[in-house]
Amino acid sequence: MKRLLIVLVALAGIGFSGLINATPCSLGGVTPANDCADGDGGAANADKLNDGLFFGFNDWTELDKVEPGDPVNTTYWSGDFTGLDGDFSLVANIWNDFEDLVVILKDGASGPNNNKDIKWSAYLLQDGVLDYAWNYDGSYHEISNLMLFGRGMGVPEPAALALMGIALAGLSLSRRRRV
């Protein structure tokens, strides 16, 4: 019984685990973040995020875009940033509307490096966290804009629910045999 329970808990943990590895990205660091990925050259947009390579999802929607000096005070977030650092706060109810959020830091055309490749980094934000800070060493160009993308609330996966149902049924059957 004890072994069965341990196996079932381990399987449930694997089935419900999310992305939790933090990988350094080229364009600064957003803290706290669950994960990050560098984009290719060119503009950052929903089409590039939705190719499935970014965090395994392909249903991102662009929510907002701000540039240095713009007042970051919109429906989704507020904050302040220069080309090298800044902070932002998400509105309190945003996690009720979106299952996952990504902020993108996009490299601009001004800065110390003559490399003209436009680069960007996408950061998967931590669920439930509202306040973030970011910094960038300026080794490429200064950041030209921040973009916020979201994915809608998901429904439980049938496979995960089936696994939990089987586990509960197995526990109840094994309990009946011993009584």
pLDDT tens sequence across 23-66: 446 555 666 576 767 666 566 566 677 776 678 888 888 898 88
The boundaries of the domain holding residue 93 are: 27-154
Asked if the structure places residue 168 within a domain, the reply is no
Q: Say what the pLDDT of residue 133 is.
A: 82
Asked if the structure places residue 175 within a domain, the reply is no
Q: Say what the pLDDT of residue 70 is.
A: 72
| For the chain, percent of residues with pLDDT exceeding 70 | 54
In this structure, how many other beta carbons lie within 10 angstroms of the beta carbon of residue 60?
22
CB 30 within 8 A of CB 105: yes
Six-digit token string for 123: 């950061």
What's the CA gap between 136 and 127, in Å, rounded?
23
Asked if the structure places residue 176 within a domain, the reply is no
Asked if the structure places residue 120 within a domain, the reply is yes
Q: What is the DSSP letter of 153?
A: P
Q: Say what the pLDDT of residue 101 is.
A: 92
Asked if the structure places residue 74 within a domain, the reply is yes
Q: Would you say the pTM of this structure is higher than 0.85?
A: no
What's the total number of domains in the chain? 1
- What confidence tens digit (pLDDT) does each residue in 63-104 have? 988 887 776 667 888 887 777 777 888 998 899 999 999 988
Asked if the structure places residue 67 within a domain, the reply is yes
Q: Say what the pLDDT of residue 150 is.
A: 92
Q: How far apart are the two ends of the chain, measured CA to CA in Å?
A: 13
Asked if the structure places residue 116 within a domain, the reply is yes
Q: Say what the pLDDT of residue 43 is.
A: 62
Asked if the structure places residue 32 within a domain, the reply is yes
